[in-house]
Amino acid sequence: MFLQGNLQAVFDALYRIGAIDPVLKLDWESVTRQMEAHPDRVFEACQAINTCGGDPTQLERKLHMMDAQAIHFVALEVAREFCEFQDRKELH
């Protein structure tokens, strides 16, 4: 499942709750393996974020309800989708 809507709003919410710096220090390959091993958790986390419709307050509320692993999954998915967007943008 992909994140829908405004990725910048999700990134900003992650930043406001202090999740970005810890995720930058993680081994992303390890987190990716965890995501592959637990696609149901990735789906649940993305689905929860998608229900917020980009609303900053709701995004922060949903993120505060998640455990650290789910937040890491969301942050890594945001990074991936930003990269994919940039790749598509550069191809045109």
pLDDT tens, residue by residue, 19-32: 999 999 999 999 99
Q: Which amino acid is at 68?
A: A
As a whole number, mean pLDDT of residues 29-36 equals 96
pTM for this structure?
A: 0.88
Q: What is the rounded CA–CA span in Å between residue 72 and residue 20?
A: 9
The overall average pLDDT reported for the chain is 91
Which CB contacts under 8 angstroms, 24+ apart, belong to 33-41? 34/69, 34/72, 34/73, 35/73, 35/76, 35/77, 41/69, 41/70, 41/73
Residue 91 has pLDDT above 60, yes or no: no
